[in-house]
Structure 1
Amino acid sequence: MNTILIIEDDLAINDLIKTTLEKNDYHCTQAFSGTEGLLNIKTATYDLIILDLMLPGLTGEEFIEKLLEIADIPILVASGKDSIDSRIACLNLGADDYLIKPFDINELKAQVNALIRRTRKNPVSDRLGYKEFILHRELFDLEINGQLLHLTKQEYKIIKLLMENPGKVFLKQEIYEYAWEDYYMGEDKTINVHISNIRRKVKPFTDHELIETVWGIGFKLKK
């Protein structure tokens, strides 16, 4: 049974979505703030998130940013914000689809079904997310705000290692032996050149750095 997390502060709307989807064989968990939604993410696994934007405390947009740091779960935004700018901003942040309130409940069901089908064809495990960065495991591509960058094998493996272990500092030896599958001979130039190439590729598409240098030690993801 597919599991869905509903993050909506309006009790009536939250209950309506839950009741409707459970009649269609989905298991639903309810949350009423972005903070509560994040707590649920840390304690359970979900196939889809239905997300309001105007939430108490942590907004929907802030929730999306924080979610990408800890998990890769499809997001259907359901919001009263109906401007093109709001929709584009959410999709660029990492949302998968956008539904404008007030919505027809049958349209909601159709979009939920479509996202679940899409996820089955393109499993979540094929993507790894961190902030606005999405690493496509099978394509050797890094997606930044909707733009796809092709990576070399070593660039891909360096990013994959760091994104799978956010917050961890890796020694140059560890990075080299993982990405090149060879013994490290103390040669810093090769790693430094590849890190520089990654930064150069990323820079035109975001103000955020992806990789941080920890001087005298190695590298980690930039917070």
Structure 2
Amino acid sequence: MPHILIVEDEAAIADTLIYALQAEGFTTCWLSLAGDALALLAREAFDMVILDVGLPDISGFEACKRLRRFSEVPVMFLTARNDEIDRVVGLEIGADDYVVKPFSPREVTARVKAILKRVAPSPVAAPVPSGPFQVDSERVQIHYRGHLLGLTRHEFRLLQTLLAQPERVFSREQLLDHLGVCVDAGYERSIDSHIKSLRAKLRAIAADAEPIQTHRGLGYSYSPSHS
């Protein structure tokens, strides 16, 4: 049974989520403070975290940043705000989805199922070479010119998508789809931030290479000839 941690300081909202998730067969744990949740996540494994942004001790954004220092567990934000900048920031710091209150419990449950399906382990497969890159999907690792890249989960999936189809130009919307993020969530520009971060990590290994190419007005591609 997938085990979901709910971090929400409003009891009524937490109760609604608990009821909806348990009705679909999930097990749940509820905490009202981010600090308590981080301590629990450091010692216990969960399949997903539903995290309120406006918590009384630590903001959900800051809690997610701290969480990403030691865990890549999927995170869904809950918030009363619907500003685009908040949605973009949420994705950039490692969230998998962003739901605005008031919300439909059925919709949240459906999104939880979709996220867990996307992050489910793939069948064991040997690392796949792609020029100077070596992609190990089982270990969620990519080596570049023999060096292991320190990637977030989103960066791994983004680079993996580009490497799988050299020279193909992917639009931001298509890349979001491969990351498992709804295109209508307003995250398109966050792809640029992920690409910038990826390029910095690649240049730290090979300053003269430019394997990720920009196609203005269209999107991005992987170019083996520039690797």
Q: Give TM class, smaller chain.
A: 0.5 to 0.7
Contact 1:140 1:152 in 2 (8 A): no
Q: Which residue of the partner structure matches residue 154 of structure 1? A: 146
> Aligned equivalents of 1:122 and 1:50: distance in 2?
24
Q: CA deviation at 1:154?
A: 2.5
Does the CA contact (< 8 Å) of 2:144 and 2:202 recur in 1? Answer: no
Instruction: Determine the structure 1 residue equivalent to 2:191.
Output: none
- The equivalent of 2:154 in structure 1 is none
Aligned twin of 2:91: 91
* Secondary structure in structure 1 of the residue aligned to 2:69: helix
**Corresponding residue for 2:51?**
51
Tell whether the 8 Å contact from 1:140 to 1:153 is kept in structure 2 after alignment.
no
Distance 1:137 1:6, change over 3 A: farther
What is the CA deviation profile of residues 34-57 of structure 1, one whole-angstrom value per residue up to 9, with x for unaligned ones? 101101102211111101000011
Change (3 A) 1:57 1:200: farther
Match of 1:37 in 2: 37
Greater Rg, structure 1 or structure 2? 1
- Note the alpha carbon deviations across 1:53-90, whole angstroms, 9 max, x for none: 00011110011100011111001111111100000000
Tell whether 2:204 aligns with 1:197.
yes
1:68-114 per-position Cα deviation (integer Å, ceiling 9, x unaligned): 11111001111111100000000011000111110011111110111
Distance 1:120 1:8, change over 3 A: same
Counterparts of 1:54 and 1:29, CA distance in 2: 19
RMSD value, Cα: 2.7
Alpha-carbon distance in 2 for matches of 1:108, 1:77: 11
Q: Is the 8 A contact 1:155 1:195 kept in 2?
A: no
Runs of 4+ in 1 over 4 A off after TM superposition: none
Gaps of at least 5 residues in structure 2 are 124-134, 152-200, 209-227
Counterpart contact for 2:53–2:59, Cα < 8 Å? yes
Number of residues paired by the alignment? 146
Q: What is the TM-score with the length of structure 1 in the denominator?
A: 0.59
Change (3 A) 1:101 1:196: closer
What runs of 5+ residues in structure 1 fail to find an aligned partner?
Answer: 124-135, 142-150, 161-193, 202-223
Contact 1:33–1:55 (Cα < 8 Å) also in 2: yes
Provide the TM-score with structure 2 as the length reference: 0.58
What secondary structure does 1:70 align onto? Answer: coil
8 A contact 2:52–2:77 mirrored in 1: yes
Indicate yes or no: 2:66 matched with 1:66. Answer: yes
Change over 3 Å in CA distance of 1:118–1:196 after alignment to 2: closer
SS at 1:57 equivalent: coil
**What's the % identity of the aligned pairs?**
26
Which residue in 2 is equivalent to 1:179? none
Indicate how the Cα distance of structure 1 residues 200 and 54 shifts in structure 2: closer, same or farther if over 3 A, else same. Answer: farther
